[in-house]
Structure 1
Amino acid sequence: MLYQSMNTIALFTTLNVIVLLWVGTLHNPFKALFALVKELVTTPRFFILFAAMAGILMLNKYELQFEQEYFNYHKDFTPMIFGWEGSFVKHLQELFYSPWITPILAYFYLLVFQALIIGSIGVYLIQHNKAHVYATCYAILINYAMAIPFFLLFPVNEAWSYQPAGVTFYMLEVFPDFESVYRPLSGLNNCFPSLHTSLSVTMAILAFRSGNKRWAIITGVSAALIVFSIFYLGIHWLSDMIAGSLLGIFASTLGIYLGRLTHQKARTTSLYNKLTN
């Protein structure tokens, strides 16, 4: 079974990354791993940036535990969100629901989403686009750094869990053990903003700005399907998507600026060292 455990999810995510790297570059996908190791060993700036990105991902992983054990804050802004947008998600589900669509969108939500993020770094490493490698790492950092405070201070429950919304959690049709297997990675009230939206939009914008048309098409189509899936599967509110889209635009724009700046400084330092040695 595809979603039997986090191990199978990790395995199929890895396979997705390999396929995406090959399709996105038409090169040996394993070149990305060698390029990553080389860059970590030879470029201190990238090592620090990569470590910071890994750190923010770990912080997000333990945010729910911190909230439950140390953060005595029990606000719930879900009724306010529902009051703003009403039954938008319910009506969308009723309009588009079909048993054959559900597994496709669940696949994009669970597997392709993660593969896009990892694959983006790999694609730019293979193509020696160091400015975009930096930009992707910066953008991921920005997304999580700005989202985590909202998760703590502006808790919003997933749409399906708020009974007045009348939303169905279609994820359970293909992943019955979602709540026990996948839920520990994301709190029920970590809805606003939608990181699935913000990171998907971020990867798509970065791809369009990279000049790789093939990768731009892949990330653009995937982002559209992932954003649609957050409504169809009954997880996010429209407000989450709007906030996530704005965050993705901001994170990608700032990430590209910082990435180019970091790459330029690295080149200048390298040139200076060559001239002085």
Structure 2
Amino acid sequence: MALLNMLLLTGLAVLAGLTMTCVLCLDRRQLRRTIGEYDHRLRDVAPYLGAAALFFLTKRLTHDYSVKLSHALDWDITAELYAVEGEFVAHLQAIVPRSTLEFFSVMYMFGFPFLLVTAPILYFALSSQRHLKELLIAYVFNYAIGAICYTLFIAYGPRNHLSTVDGLMYSFYPQTQDMTAAVSANTDVFPSLHTSLAVVVLLFAWRSRRAYPRWFPIASFVAASVVFSTMYLGIHWLLDVVAGIVLGVGSVYAAERIVARAEGDADRVSVPGERDEGIASDASD
């Protein structure tokens, strides 16, 4: 029941954030055109949606096997992570006021799925589906690399390894632990996918800033809060976050080239501002 309540609360929070963002970023003409071209746009992006759906279904079905394989390999890198960065997370918790706990817990639990859901909805509303295609591939790339790392490496977060670090969110909001446990193991730490995916959404928000000038500051604020929350709440090490940033940037780079090859324009050389100018025309539709 606790898990069901958390899922319902998360869904409502994401829906509220999505609605407010659409009100701020989309106009009536764009909405009407999106509705009118719904079938065409859906057909255009269908192969990418299908590939993403197949990947995530496979990942879900093989999750338990991946966890068993990870423990069989028994490559625990927790001590190595601690040896490199030491008590950074403990010091971070010590200097950040506890009055911010509720805010960062909300960002971690609700801000993260808000970013993942809102970005593809906004890009579907553009007449060109290029950004949506690249975003979906970047999502898949992140989770694929993350799944490989989580299988190869056992790593426990600071809250599970250091007595000086508190699992703040789980201590004050224990019901959130049911939801996080349902989607990942407590050894799924390196790299931080919360960080990498937040970076992905942020980079796409930057690239589409002419089409959606209000989306970029929203995504920037939420993404930065999500990344910081992963450390402040004692869930990830600083090294997890650094690795997540690298993964996020790399996945956007890879997704752009994968989609270019799939769309038959792999040899096209982008010039500065080319993409933004193309997107800007969508915003004026």
Q: TM-score under structure 2 normalisation?
A: 0.81
Unaligned runs of 5+ in 1: 266-277
Q: Distance in 1 between matches of 2:86 and 2:32?
A: 49
1:13 maps to what in 2? 14
Pick closer, same or farther for the CA change 1:63–1:167 going to 2, 3 Å. Answer: farther
State the percentage of identical aligned residues: 23
Cα deviations by residue, 1:64-94 (Å, 9 ceiling, x for unpaired): 4123455632232111111111000000010
Aligned to 2:269: none
User: Which residue is 1:224 aligned to?
Assistant: 224
Q: How many pairs were matched up?
A: 261
Query: For residue 197 of structure 1, what is the amino acid of its counterpart?
Result: T
Q: Aligned partners of 1:3, 1:225: CA distance in 2, in Å?
A: 26
Q: Structure 1 pair 36/144, CA: closer, same or farther in 2 (3 Å)? A: farther
Q: 1:255 to 1:25 in 2, by over 3 A?
A: farther
Q: Is 1:190 equivalent to 2:191 in the alignment?
A: no
Distance 1:173 1:36 in 2: 48
Find the counterpart in structure 2 of residue 125 from structure 1: 124
Q: What is the CA-CA distance between 1:196 and the residue it aligns to? A: 0.5
Alignment of 1:35-46 (within 5 A): 38-39=39-40, 41-43=42-44, 46=45
2:244 maps to a residue whose letter is G
Q: Secondary structure at the match of 2:98?
A: coil
CA gap of 1:150–1:28, structure 2 versus 1, over 3 A, is farther
- Structure 1 residue 67 and structure 2 residue 62: aligned? no
Q: Kindly tell me: are residues 93 and 12 of structure 1, through their superposed partners in 2, closer, same or farther at Cα, counting changes over 3 Å?
A: same
**Counterpart of 1:180?**
178
SS at match of 2:156: coil
Alpha carbons 2:41, 2:129 under 8 Å: kept: no
Q: 1:34 to 1:115 in 2, by over 3 A?
A: farther
Q: 2:3·2:179 contact (CA, 8 Å) conserved in 1?
A: no
Contact 1:131 1:260 in 2 (8 A): no
Task: Kindly indicate whether the alpha-carbon contact (under 8 Å) linking 1:169 and 1:235 is maintained by their aligned counterparts in 2.
Answer: yes
Alignment of structure 1 residues 198-277 onto 2, 5 Å: 198-210=196-208, 211=210, 212-262=212-262
Q: Distance in 2 between matches of 1:190 and 1:124?
A: 30
**Matched ranges for 1:50-199 at <5 A:** 50-69=49-68, 72-99=72-99, 101-164=100-163, 166-199=164-197
Give a deviation string over 1:118-168, Cα, whole Å, max 9, x none.
11111111122311111111111111111110000012112201135x211
Q: Give the root-mean-square deviation of aligned CA atoms.
A: 2.8
Are 2:166 and 2:234, in contact at CA under 8 Å, matched by a contact in 1?
Answer: yes
Q: Which residue of 1 aligns with 2:274?
A: none
1:3/1:9 contact within 8 Å kept: no
Residue matched to 2:23: 22
> Which deviations, in whole Å up to 9, do the C-alpha atoms of 1:32-91 show, x marking residues without a partner?
995896257533xx2121122123333444454123455632232111111111000000
Change (3 A) 1:142 1:181: closer
Q: 1:177 is matched by which residue type in structure 2? A: Q
* Amino acid aligned to 1:18: T
CA distance in 1, matches of 2:16, 2:37: 18
- CA distance in 1 between counterparts of 2:33 and 2:150 reads 33
**CA distance in structure 2 between the partners assigned to 1:174 and 1:33 by the alignment:** 43
For the 8 Å contact 1:138–1:255, the answer to whether it is kept is yes
Task: Judge conservation of contact 1:131–1:262 (CA < 8 Å) in 2.
Answer: no
1:197 to partner: Cα distance: 0.5
**Whole-angstrom CA distance in 2 between matches of 1:11 and 1:203:** 21
TM-score of the aligned structures, taking structure 1 as reference length = 0.83
Residue 217 (structure 1) shift? 1.4
